[in-house]
Structure 1
Amino acid sequence: MDITNSVRNVVLVHGAFADGSGWRGVYENLTARGFRVSIVQNPLTSLADDVAATTRVLDLQDGPTILVGHSWGGTVITAAGVHPKVAGLVYVSALAPDSGETTAQQYEGFAATPDFVIDVGSDGFGFLNHDLFQAGFAADASDEDAAFLRDSQVPINMSVFETPVPHAAWRDKPTWAVIAGEDKSFDQAMLQHMAARAGATITNVSASHALFLTQAGVVSDVIATAAQGALAPAA
């Protein structure tokens, strides 16, 4: 794809129970196409802390930027995406609260996900259950990749899910979404609802919640499409 007339900067934001290393395939795919790609390392300690970490990386960009979030990273980009350098948003099986909504509210009225089990410690931080990790998070990953993801988990402060988003960036920025059809972390209806409400151009792919790793090519293609579409004149 010729990126002459597209946004050249991409910032990738990971979700809960993960770190930025899972974006390696997307990073390599996009940099090979000529994009300048940066990866945020969220502390997962509060929404404000994760937004601050993302904002620091956005501040370093030299022009318009596509901001990409996976899972909890969707809430982060929804809040951080108001940054003036953000030209478009890409949600990768990601949460997308509206202005004034919490992340927890997104689950209301949707089916439970029995394979996605969070074990919460006395300090309020949660890890995904060791025995159910692959089934709930990375069913289409190799056993080796799933084990690495499981054993390199970054716990999240569970209170983040009760923090409202001040203003939803998707209300003002063009939006795309990639949804994993075999995602066991979220009800499919929930993912489709959030993406549709955000006015996203939706791409569906057969994958687990770990599609940022297992479907790096598809995710990269959508990001590249967003990079071109974000500069297109409004209809």
Structure 2
Amino acid sequence: MSTSTKPSIVFAHGLWADGSCYSKVIPTLQQEGHEVVSAQNALDTLEGDVDAVSRALGRVSGPAILVGHSWGGFVITAAGTDDRVAGLVYINALGPDAGETPQDLIAKYDPPALFSHLDVEDGRIWISKDGISHFCGDLPEQEQQLVWATQGAPPADLLATAKTDEPAWKSKPSWYIVGKQDRAINPELQRFMAKRMDATTVETDTSHVPMLSNPALVLDVIRTAAKTVQSS
């Protein structure tokens, strides 16, 4: 690729979130010359969220870095086989192998604390008010309450049914941020997935949402990924 053109950045958010969860890193990336789109995932099906990322890729110049947080990692693992994608960045994210469901991955290690603080209503899974501290407990209280108030809610069967056939990390360079204080995805599971995908791995002493509690580190990892694919 031309050394004068910076890769585009396309974000995929996780469960109980929306595209604005990247609001602390998007402005800086734009100022540094990247085209950026944060896909709005409906969280209904893997296929629907992959389609949303594909549409976002169509809104920016290629090649692109896909960045996925939590469930968004599952999405970029499926969407990242697109020829427009040059690299993958996982933030406390699920990175499945072929045929694995989120539930399969979560079951490999002790269940995270958040899973004892979820409510199922109208066929959807919500974080309870007393559970938000397990999701983003290293944020100020006002920010925690904003995360709770704006949460998306996935269908109750999504974690047991979503599967991908061709994991993008097998063919694209990957970076992985491990949140050592994560209570939503076991840090040991994160390390297992990062090692399996041979990802360049960085650990941070944060909760499940380092893009909100440690955006500088997340920016550094994205910059490294962009520079690597730009020079290749």
TM-score band w.r.t. shorter chain? over 0.9
Task: Give the conservation status (yes or no) of the 8 Å contact 2:12–2:39.
Answer: yes
- Rounded to whole Å, the distance in 2 between the matches of 1:199 and 1:209 is 21
Tell me how far 1:77 sits from its aligned partner. Answer: 0.4
**Which secondary structure state, in structure 2, belongs to the residue aligned with residue 156 of structure 1?**
coil
3-state DSSP of counterpart to 1:176: strand
Match of 2:145 in 1: 147
Aligned equivalents of 1:44 and 1:68: distance in 2? 16
Distance 2:210 2:23 in 1: 12
> 1:71 maps to which residue?
70
Residues 163-214 of structure 1: CA distance to partner in whole angstroms, max 9, x if unpaired? Answer: 2112100010000011111111111110100111111100111111011211
What does the per-residue CA deviation read over 1:50-100, in whole Å, with 9 as the maximum and x for residues that have no partner? 111111111222210000000000000000111110000000000000112
Show the counterpart of 2:212. Answer: 213
Aligned residue in 1 for 2:187: 188
Whether the 8 Å CA contact 2:13–2:40 is kept in 1: the answer is yes
The TM-score with structure 2 as length reference comes to: 0.94
Unaligned runs of 5+ in 2: none
Matches within 5 A, 1:113-192: 113-116=112-115, 117-121=117-121, 123-134=122-133, 136-161=134-159, 162-192=161-191
What SS does structure 2 have at the residue aligned with 1:230? Answer: helix
**1:48 lines up with 2:47 in the alignment:** yes
Q: Secondary structure at the match of 2:87?
A: strand
Percent of matched pairs sharing the same residue: 35
Where structure 1 has 5 or more consecutive residues not aligned to the other structure, the ranges are none
What amino acid is aligned across from residue 118 of structure 1 in structure 2? L
Residue matched to 2:9: 10
The structure-2 alpha-carbon separation of the partners of 1:158 and 1:232, relative to structure 1 and needing over 3 Å to count, comes to farther
When normalised by structure 1's length, the TM-score is: 0.93
SS at match of 1:25: coil
Cα gap change, 1:95 to 1:59, in 2 (>3 Å) = same
User: What SS does the aligned partner of 2:25 have?
Assistant: helix
Which letter maps to 1:205?
T
Q: Distance in 2 between matches of 1:115 and 1:86?
A: 32
What is aligned with 2:223?
224
